[in-house]
Amino acid sequence: MKIKFRNILTHIILITVCILSLVPLLWLLSTALKGRSENIFAYPPVFIPQDFTLDNFKEVLKLVPIGRYVINSFIVAFVTVILNVILSALAAYPLARMEFQGKKIAFFSILATIMVPFQTIMLPVYIITLKLHLTDNYSMLAGYLGLILPFAVNAFGIFLLRQAFLTIPKEIEESAVIDGCNSFQIFYKLLLPMIKPQIALLAIFTFIGSWGEFLWPSIVLTDEKLFTLTIGINNLSSAFSADYRLVAAGSIISIVPIIIFFLALQRYFISGTTEGAVKG
Amino acid sequence: MDLKKNLGAYLFLLPAFIVLAVFFFIPFFHTIILSFFDYSKDIYKPDFVFIGNYIELIKSPVFIKTILNTFYFMLLCVPFLVIFPLFLAILINQKIVCKTLYKILIYIPVIISIVVVAIAFKWLYAPEGLLNFFVEKFGLKPIGWLSDPNVSMISVALVTIFKGVGYYMMIYLSALMSIPKDLYEAADVDGAVGLRKHMLVTIPHVMPVIALVSTISSISALKVFVEIYVMTKGGPLNSTKTIVYYIYEKAFENLDLGIASAGAVILLVIVMAFSVLNIFVFERDKYKV
């Protein structure tokens, strides 16, 4: 009897926390679904829209190129993921499995980057990006590259994959050497397929991080054609702050892709966050 | 042979190092150099002032306030983000139904971009918004969530907490799942129940993870920016202006590159203290050569 009571208490607490984690978004959704004739400041508040409508969604899609923002966010996130996987894997391999001169220096200089948050170097990063002409004033491609390249690799990714390479037994490599494989072949054909789970983890967390990134795009972007979702939605929220129905509708549209992405891959999220290292 | 071996390793490292050099090492030293120059009179002809910018910052009441604000924000978030997610993880780690569903729902705020979360909260915090309805229902006066300088930082911290709980809960959960079952059985034999069982078995086992969560949540609290940018712009009366916001404002709005960089170096030193602790004490095994 006592055990049962404790179980019920557990569920009550967890359900409350779940509701709390959803209420801000559900309230936004409810506001987005309320028509012109309904007071969104009604007292007491009404959760289920009385004048139910999808007009706010249609209108916000007409006013703001959200589709464009989604495509931009997707391009940036996708290329960032690809570059992170390739560069991290390449760098992680010698750090885990080769002996060479300067290994310690390489190791510690990568480690040092963990200690320096992007926020403290963003100004010189911007200056360099300008000097390299990697902004949207030059071309779309330059704009994309400017958004992507500063985040093309980071120490967390390198260390995550290095850890993964370290767990593979040495003997596997030795037999490949006897078979006459060179180190790139060993890396590419033999070891890389063995760390697929960690690569998936790196890819997923990089994607989420890039998708939600705000600070850097807010610094470099000037051309609306290149706006990512976070920038576009923030602009929407200041431009239409008088009509929160539209802000709400835009925000809800903007989270649909990432929610689908999350639900499709949820088993990765709820298994290995620790290894996924630290959010940006 | 040796040279060939070295060369191979270098080639593997090269692409990553090019990116790190251009967007990391050079900017790092550039920040330090910039911090010794005064750009406020003429941005094209800066004066070398050595530690002048630092002295100016230390004398500036606004900057001191941003430092105090940042630590206040940290104090509001970190204890909660260290303790509450552990409590949730312990609850979820039991044999209960709907486990996965709970995990998914609690994790949702983590994956949603902070911009949207901040917009959602701004709406909750509206003067006639949902939160004030409940406040009034309890017979209290409506709260100026984002307009009262005494409350605004708490409102910002709530957003950060909202977004962080699920993330830290997952970190704790993977630590809890690694605790050998027989430890609990041994505790059962000793007659320990409920809370005492957790004090005896769980807490000592997850102590390193508690330390880890403390440092990473502290570091991310020191870097807080987007919540503030979207909701308050540092106001009212600078009550939510944090170090990163100050740096951003100086660098990209006032174009006062020297002051911004000196602020950045100060932030860097503070963050480093936490990172060093983390890397060399709490996560030592992960970062061994």
* pLDDT on residue A85: 97
The stretches in chain B having pLDDT less than 70 are 1-2, 289
Alpha-carbon torsion, ordered B216, B218, B219, B222, to 10 deg: 160
> CA angle at residue A89 from A83 to A93, to 5 degrees?
155
Q: Do B109 and A21 touch (CB under 8 A)?
A: yes
Tally of structural domains, chain B? 1
Specify if B190 maps to a domain.
Answer: yes
* Residue among B34, B67, B23 nearest B251 (CA): B34
* pLDDT on residue B208: 87
Q: Are A106 and B13 in contact (CB under 8 A)?
A: yes
For chain A, report the end-to-end CA distance as a whole number of angstroms. 46
Q: Which of A117, A233, A261 sits opposite B119 (nearest CB)?
A: A233
Q: Are A103 and B9 in contact (CB under 8 A)?
A: yes
Alpha-carbon torsion, ordered B40, B45, B47, B52, to 10 deg: 30
Specify if B10 maps to a domain.
Answer: no
B237: left (phi over 0), alpha (psi -120 to 50) or beta: left
Tens-place pLDDT, residues B259-278: 999 999 999 999 998 888 88
Q: Do B31 and A88 touch (CB under 8 A)?
A: no
Closest Cα of chain B to A35: distance in Å?
A: 17
**pLDDT by position in tens, chain A (length 280):** 455 677 889 999 999 999 999 999 999 999 999 988 888 888 788 888 888 999 999 999 999 999 999 999 999 999 999 999 999 999 999 999 989 999 999 999 998 898 899 999 999 999 999 999 999 999 999 999 999 999 999 999 999 999 999 988 888 888 888 888 888 888 888 899 999 989 999 999 999 999 999 999 999 999 999 999 999 999 999 888 888 999 999 999 999 999 999 999 888 877 654 444 443 3
Range of the domain at B156: 61-282
Closest Cα of chain A to B178: distance in Å?
A: 12
Tens-place pLDDT, residues B169-225: 999 998 888 888 787 777 777 777 777 777 788 888 888 899 989 999 999 999 999
Q: Are A249 and A36 in contact (CB under 8 A)?
A: no
CATH number of the domain bearing residue B174: 1.10.3720.10
Best residue in A41, A110, A270, A275 for a mutation probing chain B (most B CBs within 10 Å): A270
Give the count of beta carbons closer than 10 Å to the beta carbon of residue B96.
13
* pLDDT on residue B117: 97
ipTM: 0.91
CATH architecture of residue range(s) A60-269: Orthogonal Bundle (1.10)
All residues of chain B having their beta carbon less than 8 Å from the beta carbon of residue A98 are: 5, 8-9, 12
Specify if B77 maps to a domain.
Answer: yes
Q: Are A233 and B114 in contact (CB under 8 A)?
A: no
Specify if B44 maps to a domain.
Answer: no
Specify if B36 maps to a domain.
Answer: no
- Per-domain boundaries in chain A: 2-53, 60-269
Q: Which of A115, A125, A208 sits opposite B275 (nearest CB)?
A: A115
Q: Rounded to an integer, what distance in angstroms lies between the CA atom of residue B240 and that of residue B155?
A: 10
**What is the DSSP track for A180-235?**
T--HHHIIIIIIGGGGHHHHHHHHHHHHHHHHH--HHHHHH---GGG--HHHHHHH
- How is residue A273 annotated by DSSP? T
Specify if B164 maps to a domain.
Answer: yes
Q: Rounded to an integer, what distance in angstroms lies between the CA atom of residue B47 and that of residue B59?
A: 20
* pLDDT on residue A277: 41
Q: Do A91 and B109 touch (CB under 8 A)?
A: no
Q: Rounded to an integer, what distance in angstroms lies between the CA atom of residue A130 and that of residue A118?
A: 17
Q: Rounded to an integer, what distance in angstroms lies between the CA atom of residue B15 and that of residue A153?
A: 9
Which 3-state string (H, E, C) describes A118-169? HHHHHHHHHHHHHHCCCCCCCCHHHHHHHHHHHHCCCHHHHHHHHHHHHCCC
All residues of chain B having their beta carbon less than 8 Å from the beta carbon of residue A10 are: 91, 94, 96
* Residue among A167, A199, A202, A207 nearest A79 (CA): A207
Specify if B92 maps to a domain.
Answer: yes
Q: Are A276 and A206 in contact (CB under 8 A)?
A: no
For chain B, report the end-to-end CA distance as a whole number of angstroms. 23
Q: What burial class does residue B154 get, using C-beta atoms within 10 Å of its C-beta: 0-12 exposed, 13-18 middle, 19+ buried? A: middle
Specify if B203 maps to a domain.
Answer: yes
- How is residue A77 annotated by DSSP? H
* pLDDT on residue A209: 93
**What is the DSSP track for B224-259?**
--HHHHHHTTT-STTTT--HHHHHHIIIIIS--HHH
Q: Rounded to an integer, what distance in angstroms lies between the CA atom of residue B15 and that of residue B19?
A: 7
